[in-house]
């Protein structure tokens, strides 16, 4: 009498070769609906992307300004009443929020527009697009300081953009 089980009862022995892995089931390909295609077409428009980035950047700048504005303390804090300090603090928060809102909105709009235009012109989605968009954004934002400031702004913002891109690892 043999102690080995019958070949029918051993599931491992039913495959033709022990080195073959079981194949995953083939999933059916789902085509996008017309609404999904329309949504993708709208989102691939550079103007839509840029405006959306500007709005989101403005919202983030507003929040950042509120947060940072709350740390501003009045110079004459000793002589001010609680009400005066509160009013001063609220005005500072409002000024800083509005300033950051405008700056981040313009930054988001310029960066997104530049990246989208470069991506469409090159027909590639890679880190070079990010570097060029960062350079354009940094150069435009610091252009009022002269050509030297624009060059440093270009180089600095491009380097920062590439570092963030590498950190987020969006491209292969």
pLDDT at 37 over 70: yes
In degrees, rounded to 5, the angle at the alpha carbon of residue 102 between the alpha carbons of residues 100 and 105 is 100
pLDDT of residue 86: 86
> pTM of the full predicted structure?
0.73
Per-residue pLDDT reduced to its tens digit, 117-145: 999 999 998 899 999 999 999 999 999 99
pLDDT at 9 over 70: no
Report the mean per-residue pLDDT for the chain.
86
Domain locations in the chain as residue ranges? 35-122, 126-171
| Three-state secondary-structure class, residue 157 | helix
């Amino acid at each position: 009498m043999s102690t080995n089980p019958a070949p029918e009862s051993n599931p491992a022995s039913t495959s033709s070769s022990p080195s073959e892995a079981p194949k995953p089931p083939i999933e059916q390909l789902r085509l996008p609906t017309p609404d999904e295609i329309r949504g993708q077409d709208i989102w691939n428009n550079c103007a839509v992307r840029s405006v959306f980035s500007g709005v989101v950047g403005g919202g983030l700048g507003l929040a950042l300004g509120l947060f940072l504005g709350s740390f501003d303390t009045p110079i004459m804090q000793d002589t001010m009443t609680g009400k005066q300090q509160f009013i001063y603090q609220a005005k500072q928060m409002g000024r800083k929020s509005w300033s950051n809102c405008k700056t981040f909105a313009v930054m988001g709009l310029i960066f997104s527009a530049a990246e989208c235009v470069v991506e469409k012109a090159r027909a590639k989605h890679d880190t070079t697009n990010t570097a060029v968009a960062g350079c354009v954004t940094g150069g435009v934002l610091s252009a009022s300081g002269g050509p030297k400031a624009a060059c440093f702004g270009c180089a600095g913002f491009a380097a920062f953009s590439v570092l963030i891109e590498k950190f987020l690892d969006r491209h292969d």
